[in-house]
Amino acid sequence: MKHSVATGSKSGAGTGGDSEMDLDTNPDYIALKSTLSLLTEQRDQAKKDIVHLEALKKQALDDPIKFRNDLIATGAIRGAPSRQAPIPTPSISLDKYK
């Protein structure tokens, strides 16, 4: 599916009028779309991690002494999901789209 946007530029690519930019080849659009995809995956993983953490919390509350002993022995919560690294958003100069 082709996406396009009018840039509002009066010096379009040889057209002399408003130029229309093909979003599917626009590097800014591609970067934003890619970032959105990564953030969506990260959100979905975070939802799964929350469910898993709730189960770990229940286990810890069911047997706090075992939880404490495991934590002291390993220095970590066994089975806890790893942290997610923040996804940086692309830097886009909006001046070219005015």
Q: Which of 2, 46, 47 is nearest to 22 (CA)?
A: 2
Residue 95 belongs to some domain of the structure: no
- Mean pLDDT per block of 10 residues along the chain (98 residues) reads 58 46 90 97 98 98 97 94 95 90
Q: pTM higher than 0.85, yes or no?
A: no
Residue 42 belongs to some domain of the structure: yes
- Domain residues for the domain of 53 are 25-84
Residue 38 belongs to some domain of the structure: yes
The pLDDT of residue 14:
39
The pLDDT of residue 22:
87
The pLDDT of residue 1:
62
Question: In this structure, are strands 4-6 and 20-22 parallel, antiparallel, or unpaired?
Answer: antiparallel
User: Computed from CA positions of residues 63, 69, 73, 75, in that sequence, does the dihedral angle turn out positive or negative?
Assistant: positive
Residue 53 belongs to some domain of the structure: yes
The pLDDT of residue 4:
65
Domains identified in the chain, total number: 1
Residue 17 belongs to some domain of the structure: no
Residue 40 belongs to some domain of the structure: yes
Residue 19 belongs to some domain of the structure: no
Helices (H), the chain: 27-62, 64-74
Report long-range pairs for 29-33 (Cβ below 8 Å, ≥24 apart).
Answer: 29/3, 31/90, 31/92, 32/90, 32/92
